[in-house]
Chain A
Amino acid sequence: MALIVDKHRPRSLDALTYHDELSDRLRSLAQSGDFPHLLFYGPSGAGKKTRIVATLKELYGPGVEKIKIDARVFQTSSNRKLEFNIVASVYHLEITPSDVGNYDRVVIQDLLKEVAQTQQVDQSARQRFKVVVINEADHLTRDAQAALRRTMEKYSPNLRLILVGESTAGIISPIRSRCLLVRVARPTVGEVKGVLRGSCEREGWGVREGLLERVAKESGRNLRKALLILEAVYAQNEKVTDTTPIPPPDWEGLIEQIAQEIMAEHTPARILQVRSKLYDLLTHCIPPTTILKTLTFKLMPLIDDALKPEVIKWSAFYEHRIKTGTKVIFHLEAFVAKFMRILEMYLMSMDM
């Protein structure tokens, strides 16, 4: 059974329920014929992907929805074979080059040239060019991005790119200079509620405004998260009311526990205890940045306002180290130790 996040996904620009101005803009671009390369950016759960699929449909018609998955093999210069999956319709294809890590350049080079040098199979296609959607574009290596530059210019009669990423920071300026940037904001709390309400109605669940409000707030305006929470609430409870509790995901519960533990006791022994929980989270593939951020924001309500800037400062400091260092656990632990020390000093100064 499909989840409602997928089942209720709008399939055309008209069906999108928020950012109407943006939808209009995409529509006029799609209808114009001189569609530019696009770079979609915005936080996760803002609806970037849905919007892109809807734009493709506006460009080519319903044919783009008939997709299949191609497994392709690429060869690196050192003769290593790379397996790579491509989602494709007759008109477009979608790739996630960061799947092959540092070999992303090879895939980009080979694939885009091949696409650019062949024409549409469908003679009656509405556009002469084909679209290649590149996911996680902000994680492409510099080399792969460099490989895109001239390709984007040279093959522009046959090829348009839609790059997708959470932020534009990882994208080199010559690439940004070749794209039209499209920012997709998360929907407002009110807009999230609207989508949730629509899903409740379609599923025949009674609409509980109070619950929807809480789910929308809890999700931090992340629409995907909100829909998943809503479905979980209805799956886990026979009778849903405005006050039915919202179950946090397991990992969030665990981080909540860590927060409580480090508030309660500031000793080396406690750090040891916390370490095993941190390892636990990491082995369950929770990204280290998510762990650090969630922990930080769970600690915030538990401490005095005067301490908050200092704690944020160190949280940001160690998050940076996570990104530039190699041993993630060191930096997570260091943050815990630092936090305990800051708190201890503060409490001592209060006593005096």
Chain B
Amino acid sequence: MASFFDLKARKAAAANGVASKDNEKKDAENTRIQPWVEKYRPKTLSDVTAQDHTITVLQRTLQASNLPHMLFYGPPGTGKTSTILALAKELYGPELMKSRVLELNASDERGISIVREKVKDFARMQLTNVSSPAYKARYPCPPFKIIILDEADSMTQDAQSALRRTMETYSKITRFCLICNYVTRIIDPLASRCSKFRFKSLDQGNAKRRLEEIAEKERVGLEDGAVEGLIQCAEGDLRKAITYLQSAARLVGAVQPAGVDKGDGEDEMDVDKKAVSVKIVQDIAGVIPDETIQRLVKAMRPTTLGGNYTGIAKEVEDMVADGWSAGQVVNQLYQAVVYDETIEDAQKNKILMVFSEIDKRLVDGADEHLSILDLALRISGILGGR
């Protein structure tokens, strides 16, 4: 048996593979087996959905062929990485991308000295140019390089401080783009050197348009409300929504398995295709069925002598054994209680404080079973006027 780590064999195999296979065919195959999040990653700035303000400003800089240092921040799956990659591509075109753009992310070693070294080496490399005027007409190719520090919030404070100097030293010939989820994790002196761009959670309208576009290209049928369901479950994270859509499509058999060629027979496939429904989406997203939550709520309602421990304990035990994530339980229970009009405001106030405490505990890694049981019992106590 060949070993997984027999590097020589693997490299040889890789070389053979490239030589023997028809490259074009392979490319076509690649796009087909790509996860949709990659397949539909925006290729140009105008492709990026919903971040209108950011995109307008960036397009303007594109025309002026000049860039400030930049800081992109916002929640996951809102287009930060896609935007900078698209911008770089529009600036330099495919040929110069490699020599002009350096991407460092959290999977690279990013100690202080390493960042300094890498940046130094990269910045020092001669600016290569393309001679073809046609290329130049298409791509502005400004005379600086871009260094992307993706996932910068996972860099240590020290590494960030060291970066300040580096940024200044090479500011003539490089532009930095820092990307992070939490802008507060970037030290002030660094953040203040950059133009900041906030990426918003995707709003309903834009997310909907994008998802419908993908569904159409992939020939996935969508039942009424399915897109809204996707968006709600994904909480403004478009990547999540697209992943859910893809697996939902797979589940209803709306997509052809790999190996089956597109083309003939497509019409027959269309016949027995089902559409993606809200229920399937919720199922994939790990949303707890309403009945389950309602059973727990019912067990929590006050009975004659406060003797509902057994009922609550049983429901909680089942939910834990069913593997529902505690975070999801807390979210849905919160919705159920806060929007329940039969509960008095004074009681709701008390209940909110319990939610706050339990959320903190769960983040600290407290046991999910005990935390949820405690939550349910305390709400029950408040409802019972104890």
Contacts and interface: CB of A to CB of B under 8 A. Distances in A.
Interface stretch (A7-15, A35-43, A261-269): A35-43
Interface string A176-212: 1111110111100000000000000000000000000
B79 interface: no
Interface stretch (B64-72, B125-133, B320-328): B320-328
Contacts of B326: 167, 169
Contacts of B181: 173-174
A275 to B, nearest CB: 22
A41 to B, nearest CB: 6
Nearest to A318: B370
Interface stretch (A24-32, A230-238, A246-254, A341-349): A24-32
18 contacts: A25-B247, A25-B250, A28-B251, A36-B243, A90-B4, A121-B2, A121-B6, A121-B9, A147-B106, A157-B30, A157-B34, A168-B325, A177-B237, A183-B322, A300-B313, A309-B309, A309-B377, A316-B370
B323 A33 contact: no
A119 B16 CA distance: 11
What are the 3 closest A-B residue pairs judged by CB atoms, nearest first? A33-B258, A42-B323, A146-B154
Contact of B250 (A29, A185, A309): A29
A278 B259 CA distance: 60
Interface string B102-132: 0101111101000000000000000000000
Contact of A93 (B4, B253, B313, B369): B4
B1 interface: yes
A68 B4 CA distance: 10
Interface string B27-61: 00010111111100000000000000000000000
A34 B373 contact: no
B215 to A, nearest CB: 15
A88 B370 contact: no
Nearest to B317: A220
Contact of A29 (B10, B247, B364): B247
Interface in B280-326: 284-286, 305-307, 309-310, 313, 317, 320-326
Contacts of A146: 106-107, 151, 153-154
Nearest to A42: B323
B90 interface: no
Contact of B321 (A28, A43, A112): A43
B106 A316 contact: no
A34 B368 CA distance: 34
B345 interface: no
Given A109-B109, A186-B323, A32 B366 contact: no
B377 A306 contact: no
A298 interface: no
Contact of B38 (A147, A156, A296): A156
Interface of A: 25, 28-29, 31-34, 36-37, 41-43, 46, 66, 68, 70, 72, 77, 88-90, 93, 108-109, 112-113, 118-123, 128, 142-143, 146-151, 153, 156-157, 167-170, 173-174, 176-181, 183-186, 220-221, 289, 292-293, 296, 300, 305-306, 308-309, 312-313, 315-317, 319-320, 323-324
Contacts, number: 223
Given A33-B257, A34-B35, A323-B366, 12 more contacts: A28-B250, A43-B323, A68-B1, A70-B4, A118-B7, A146-B151, A168-B327, A177-B77, A178-B37, A183-B323, A185-B321, A289-B367
A319 B284 CA distance: 32
B370 A315 contact: yes
Given A43-B321, A313-B374, A119 B13 contact: yes
Interface of B: 1-7, 9-11, 13-14, 16-17, 30, 32-38, 75-77, 81, 103, 105-109, 111, 150-151, 153-154, 181, 237, 239-240, 243-244, 246-247, 250-251, 253, 255, 257-259, 284-286, 305-307, 309-310, 313, 317, 320-327, 361-371, 373-374, 377-378, 380-381
A75 to B, nearest CB: 11
Query: Could you say which of B35, B77, B380 has the most chain A C-beta atoms within 10 Å of its C-beta?
Result: B35
A90 B153 CA distance: 36
Contacts of A77: 109, 111
B381 A178 contact: no
Given A177-B240, A184-B323, A312-B377, A118 B77 contact: no
B269 to A, nearest CB: 14
Contacts of A113: 107
Nearest to A187: B321
B4 A89 contact: yes
Contacts of A108: 107
Query: Could you say which of A88, A120, A148, A180 has the most chain B C-beta atoms within 10 Å of its C-beta?
Result: A180
A296 B374 CA distance: 12
Contacts of A29: 247, 250
Contact of A43 (B307, B310, B320): B320
A175 to B, nearest CB: 9
B60 to A, nearest CB: 28
A37 B253 CA distance: 19
A112 B107 contact: yes
A28 B364 contact: no
Nearest to A122: B2
Contacts of A185: 321-323
Contacts of A72: 5
Contacts of B257: 31-33
Given A150-B151, A186-B323, A309-B377, A320 B246 contact: no
Contacts of B106: 143, 146-147, 149-150
B364 A324 contact: yes
Contact of B323 (A46, A70, A93): A46
A289 B366 CA distance: 9
B251 A128 contact: no
B286 A183 contact: yes
A180 B245 CA distance: 10
Contact of B368 (A31, A32, A33, A169): A169
Contacts of A89: 4
A42 B154 CA distance: 28
B107 A180 contact: no
Query: Could you say which of A43, A77, A150, A220 has the most chain B C-beta atoms within 10 Å of its C-beta?
Result: A150
A109 B32 contact: no
A270 to B, nearest CB: 24
A63 B327 CA distance: 38
A300 to B, nearest CB: 8
